[in-house]
């Protein structure tokens, strides 16, 4: 191999390689690990992994998959298909079938040669489970190293599956290695969100590959040239390469002569020295987004066999091409990009036409629709590019890869106007394409684009000539997308859809669908009687059409409306009917969304979580986790918060914020987020989010009464978090004065008002009028709810006595009472006992309140209980070190404080907790601030004092 070939030993990467080695050893011991190797183009990420792969070749199975550069329209699950095929090849197809059993059907979506599977036989959920099961099975035979190269080109379906695997593979000998060009990741894009979320959740280690120091540049350059370099030559190389190993390699071959004038010239320097046949081979390979087989290179190059062999040999000996697994590829992607960009426009178009024709002629049936769309587009053949884009969209949609499907659909839309007979080319009318694209965009979580697409379609409709069914469906879709965005206007659009069908179309099922949607909008707006009438008509038409699902949806709407009108028994009966009638997934999921919401409003938290949780599986199965699934997730989050499982709620919110969901779903989760932040004592942050989202809540609250109530809940939470109980109570009193429809959402806020009244009464405020207003509103609730646990707790707050408050304490310990009332009722009882002079009885009650507040991590309650403890002289020993007027320490801060007390430095603490010294510094600052001290020694004294107070001994600090 000539001196210019990259044959030198790797230099300057000992630290990075040590990290990957360490993670591999951890994986070999049975603890899965994942690492992201990141750095700019040419920095040596792939070289680092090749070195690592060579080291472990005899100890593990290594499987590599590449994310391919197909522009904006990327292949769904691109790199994972190659990895799975490699695993199956290593294990053998028969063994895989035996190991996975019926689970092998899920793999058929990506590996049809293993088990042909169509969309109706599987789902994203089963696909994910099958992939995880296959990896687990392989890891039982040998350690598995799964390498995903070029994550910066990954599609969203790949990222979603990787995110799942990072969480699902909790045991086994598995190391997942990802490489990524950091300079190709844009802030806020899908790859950036994936990396950020995985890092925050500590699912992914990150290894940054930095530029080489001057000494390492010398070592690498001299290894390539085979002789010492003068300082002048080295300076030239170091200045131009800027420490990037790939550029050092390229420049080292030019060190004896003039250096190329630009980066492009540098990258093409090797290419320019090739003979004509070798140049032809390299140009052909530059058009490929993946490794090329010898058969395909032979076909595309068009050279006689002997000349082709010589051309390939010269291209590989030059260090431009490499042979991996009998396929040809560029040594580095930067070289491919340079050669491809150097082609003349006509050359480039002809090359990609040849590729597309070769893929279509492939009789193996393995042509990738995404690759065909890419090549036909670069071939500038609009007709074939359009057909390929539509095929790729439908293929991605069938595999539940909605984000990828949306990109191909938008490409098809761009190409449509370039093709005169587009409809005949793709076999789909333009309006139908627009409808499909709108649905795909909505399921991908892009509600704004979905609305824009359906609006475009309606602008193109001629009411006199268009099929009225198509017109009505487009109007129904527009209303649906407006609803997803929390915008006004759905009701008149749906009424227009019904008018479009009137006297022209006899289609009971379609009319039932539109009537159900219209009934739902009336119910959400609070026009409950109208909603019941419309849903009843929808149910009758659905019965005539034989549609159980539309009958189910009609019963669903009636159930919600009846419940909010106060007829809870009838509401439950309608929901039971809705479940019995639901045959399809859409009807069942609508039942689970709405019924879990009702159960949560009634305080049946365990039932609400169960109903919603059972609906998440079909939501994932049909790829609508970001849409319908997000609503069910929110219907789980609120009951979980009421039960005090705040950490689980924080995890749910982190996942929701990391993915694109519909605007209306974001609004629901924002309410929960504000409550959680207030719970955690982050009052200023909660207030800022409330200010930011107020315009959206105000707009949507005009058409969705639930959103109106949600903003009231946010305002109350923020006021409480800031200790302003008067303002919080005023918010509820303004709610009671509003003349809009009354929903069951009012119950929880009335119960909260009881606690606020108790706090204000304790401060000496006059709460007589507020007591009367809250009691009157409670009496106006459905009769079957008046004498439940909530009602008796509220009555104890409104008319307090020691006996009623003792009963309230017992009731508050029930599972279906918001867990914060375990603290507030005990605090109220302790106050009554102190006022009665029974301090002995008050002390344990107060201690229980403090322990419960700290267990919940509820900062405002902890402060209030602590303040009363200090004021009453009944100070209880806190389980968490804090001062009465400061935030309690988080679990991590408590660990840091314990290590400070041991006398450890920041670096030593970081090593003990496996976090960086910089992160430790942040925690130390927080600890000192919360404890109200200025030095580590003072913090250690407080820690020791707390420990000895708990044990009844005197504190001694040595």
Whether 29 contacts 272, CB under 8 Å: no
Instruction: Convert the pLDDT of each residue in 854-883 to its tens digit.
Output: 999 999 999 999 889 888 888 654 444 444
The pLDDT, as a whole number, for residue 950 is 45
Mean pLDDT of 695-712: 90
Q: What is the pLDDT of residues 430-477, one digit of tens each?
A: 999 999 999 998 888 788 899 999 999 999 999 889 999 999 999 999
647-663 pLDDT per residue, tens: 888 877 776 655 556 67
DSSP category for residue 39: E
Whole-angstrom Cα Rg for the chain: 33
Q: What is the pLDDT of residues 347-361, one digit of tens each?
A: 899 999 988 888 888
Average pLDDT estimate for 607-632: 64
Is residue 493 predicted with pLDDT exceeding 90?
yes
Question: pLDDT per residue over 297-307, tens digit each?
Answer: 888 888 999 99
**Contact (CB, 8 A) for 926 and 902:** no
pLDDT for position 564: 93
In the DSSP assignment, the letter for residue 189 is S
The predicted structure's pLDDT at residue 766? 93
Beta carbons of 389 and 404 less than 8 angstroms apart: no
pLDDT top residue among 163 and 2: 163
Give the helix/strand (H/E) hosting 174: strand 174-181
Structure tokens at 751: 């119960």
User: Cβ contacts of residue 645 below 8 Å, gap of 6+?
Assistant: none
The pLDDT tens digits of the residues spanning 723-747 come to 999 999 999 999 999 999 999 999 9
pLDDT-derived band at 2 (thresholds 50, 70, 90) equals very low
Give the pLDDT confidence of 585-615 residue by residue, as tens digits. Answer: 778 888 888 899 999 999 999 999 888 877 6
Provide the 10 A C-beta neighbour count for residue 883.
Answer: 16
Instruction: Reply yes or no on whether the pLDDT at 558 is more than 60.
Output: yes
- Dihedral of CA atoms 510, 514, 519, 521 in degrees, nearest 10, equals 150
Residue 262 has pLDDT above 70, yes or no: no
Q: Enter the DSSP assignment of 254.
A: T
363 pLDDT band, cuts 50/70/90, is low
What token pair was written down for 377?
Answer: 């587009």
Check residue 749 and give its pLDDT: 96
For range 789-793, the mean pLDDT: 94
**For 100-146, how does the pLDDT look when each residue is reduced to its tens digit (9 = 90+)?**
776 677 777 778 777 766 555 556 666 777 788 888 889 989 999 99
pLDDT: is 252 or 427 the higher one? Answer: 427
Output 820 or 135, whichever has higher pLDDT. Answer: 820
Predicted pLDDT of residue 649: 85
Dihedral class, residue 486 (left if φ above 0, else alpha if ψ from -120 to 50, else beta): left
Mean pLDDT across 944-957: 45
| pLDDT of 247 above 80 | no
Tracing tokens 């099922």 back to the chain, one arrives at: 509
Q: Please state the three-class secondary structure of 937-957 as a single string.
A: HHHHHHHHHHHHHHHCCCCCC
On the question of pLDDT at 426 being above 60, the answer is yes
How confident is residue 184, by pLDDT bands cut at 50, 70 and 90?
A: confident
pLDDT (average), residues 144-170 = 84
How far apart are the C-alpha atoms of 422 and 843, rounded to whole Å? Answer: 81
Neighbour tally for 83: CB within 10 Å: 23
- Tell me the pLDDT of the chain averaged across its residues: 84
């Amino acid at each position: 191999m000539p001196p210019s070939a990259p044959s030198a030993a790797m230099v300057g990467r000992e630290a990075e390689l040590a990290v990957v080695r360490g993670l591999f050893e951890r994986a070999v011991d049975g603890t899965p690990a994942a690492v992201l190797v990141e750095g700019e183009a040419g920095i040596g990420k792939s070289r680092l992994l090749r070195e690592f792969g060579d080291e472990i070749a005899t100890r593990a199975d290594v499987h590599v998959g590449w994310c391919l550069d197909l522009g904006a329209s990327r292949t769904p699950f691109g790199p994972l298909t190659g990895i799975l095929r490699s695993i199956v090849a290593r294990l053998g197809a028969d063994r895989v079938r035996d190991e996975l059993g019926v689970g092998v059907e899920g793999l058929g979506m990506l590996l049809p040669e293993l088990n042909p599977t169509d969309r109706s036989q599987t789902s994203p959920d089963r696909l994910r489970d099958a992939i995880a099961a296959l990896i687990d099975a392989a890891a039982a035979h040998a350690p598995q190293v799964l390498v995903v190269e070029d994550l910066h080109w990954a599609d969203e379906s790949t990222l979603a599956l990787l995110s799942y695997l990072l969480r699902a593979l909790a045991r086994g000998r598995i190391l997942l290695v990802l490489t990524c060009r950091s300079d190709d990741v844009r802030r806020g894009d899908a790859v950036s969100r994936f990396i950020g979320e995985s890092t925050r959740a500590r699912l992914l280690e990150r290894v940054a590959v930095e530029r080489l120091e001057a000494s390492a540049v010398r070592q690498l350059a001299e290894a390539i040239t085979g002789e010492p370099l003068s300082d002048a030559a080295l300076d030239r190389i170091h200045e131009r390469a800027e420490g990037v190993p790939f550029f050092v390699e390229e420049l080292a071959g030019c060190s004896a002569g003039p250096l190329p004038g630009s980066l492009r010239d540098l990258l093409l320097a090797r290419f320019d020295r090739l003979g004509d046949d070798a140049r032809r081979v390299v140009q052909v390979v530059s058009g490929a987004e993946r490794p090329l087989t010898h058969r395909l290179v032979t076909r595309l190059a068009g050279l006689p066999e002997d000349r082709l062999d010589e051309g390939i040999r010269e291209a590989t000996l030059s260090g431009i091409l490499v042979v991996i697994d009998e396929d040809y590829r560029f040594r580095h992607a930067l070289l491919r990009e340079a050669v491809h960009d150097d082609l003349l426009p006509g050359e480039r178009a002809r090359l990609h036409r040849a590729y597309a024709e070769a893929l279509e002629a492939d009789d193996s049936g393995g042509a990738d629709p995404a690759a065909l769309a890419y090549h036909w587009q670069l071939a500038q053949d609009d007709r074939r590019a359009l057909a390929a884009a539509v095929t790729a969209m439908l293929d991605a949609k069938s595999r539940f890869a909605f984000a990828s499907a949306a990109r191909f659909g938008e490409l098809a839309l761009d190409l449509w106007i370039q093709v005169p007979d587009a409809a005949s080319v793709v076999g789909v009318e333009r309006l139908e394409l627009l409808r499909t694209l709108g649905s795909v965009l909505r399921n991908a979580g892009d509600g704004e684009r979905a609305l824009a697409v359906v609006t475009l379609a309606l602008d193109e409709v001629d009411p006199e000539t268009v099929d009225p069914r198509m017109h009505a469906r487009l109007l129904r879709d527009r209303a649906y997308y407006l609803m997803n965005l929390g915008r006004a206007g759905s009701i008149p659009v749906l009424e227009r859809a019904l008018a479009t069908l009137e006297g022209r179309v006899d289609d009971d099922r379609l009319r039932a669908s539109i009537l159900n949607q219209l009934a739902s909008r009336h119910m959400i707006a609070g026009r409950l009687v109208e909603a019941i009438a419309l849903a009843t008509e929808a149910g009758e038409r659905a019965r005539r059409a034989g549609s159980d699902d539309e009958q189910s949806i009609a019963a669903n709407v009636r159930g919600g409306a009846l419940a909010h009108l106060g007829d809870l028994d009838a509401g439950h009966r309608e929901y039971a009917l809705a479940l019995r009638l639901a045959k399809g997934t859409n009807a069942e999921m609508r039942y689970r969304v709405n019924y879990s919401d009702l159960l949560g409003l009634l305080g049946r938290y365990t039932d609400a979580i169960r109903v919603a949780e059972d609906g998440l599986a079909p939501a994932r199965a049909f790829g609508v986790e970001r849409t319908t699934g997000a609503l069910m997730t929110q219907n789980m989050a609120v009951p979980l918060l009421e039960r005090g499982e705040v950490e689980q709620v924080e995890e749910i919110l982190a996942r929701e914020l990391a993915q694109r969901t519909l605007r209306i779903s974001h609004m629901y989760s924002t309410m929960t987020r504000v409550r959680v932040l207030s719970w955690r004592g982050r009052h200023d942050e909660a207030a800022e989010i409330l200010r930011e989202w107020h315009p959206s809540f105000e707009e949507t609250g005009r058409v969705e009464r639930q959103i109106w109530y949600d903003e009231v809940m946010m305002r109350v939470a923020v006021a409480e978090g800031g200790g302003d109980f008067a303002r919080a109570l005023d918010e509820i009193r303004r709610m009671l004065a509003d003349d809009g429809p009354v929903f069951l959402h009012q119950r929880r806020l009335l119960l909260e008002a009881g606690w606020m009244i108790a706090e204000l009464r304790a401060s000496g405020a006059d709460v007589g009028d507020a007591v009367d207003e809250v009691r009157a509103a409670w009496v106006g609730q459905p009769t079957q709810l008046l004498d439940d646990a909530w009602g008796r707790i509220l009555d104890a707050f409104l008319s307090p006595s020691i006996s009623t408050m003792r009963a309230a304490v017992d009731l508050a310990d029930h599972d279906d009472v918001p867990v914060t009332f375990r603290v507030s009722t005990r605090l109220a009882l302790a106050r009554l006992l102190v006022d009665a002079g029974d301090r002995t009885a008050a002390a344990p009650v107060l201690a229980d309140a403090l322990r419960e507040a700290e267990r919940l991590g509820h900062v405002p309650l902890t402060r209030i209980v602590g303040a009363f403890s200090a004021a009453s002289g009944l100070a209880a020993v806190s389980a968490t070190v804090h001062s009465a007027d400061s935030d309690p320490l988080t679990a991590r801060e408590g660990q840091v404080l314990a290590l400070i007390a041991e006398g450890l430095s920041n670096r030593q603490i970081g090593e003990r907790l496996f976090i960086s010294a910089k992160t430790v510094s942040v925690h130390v600052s927080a600890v000192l601030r919360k404890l109200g001290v200025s030095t580590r020694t003072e913090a250690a004294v407080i820690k020791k004092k707390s420990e000895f107070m708990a044990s009844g001994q005197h504190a001694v600090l040595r």
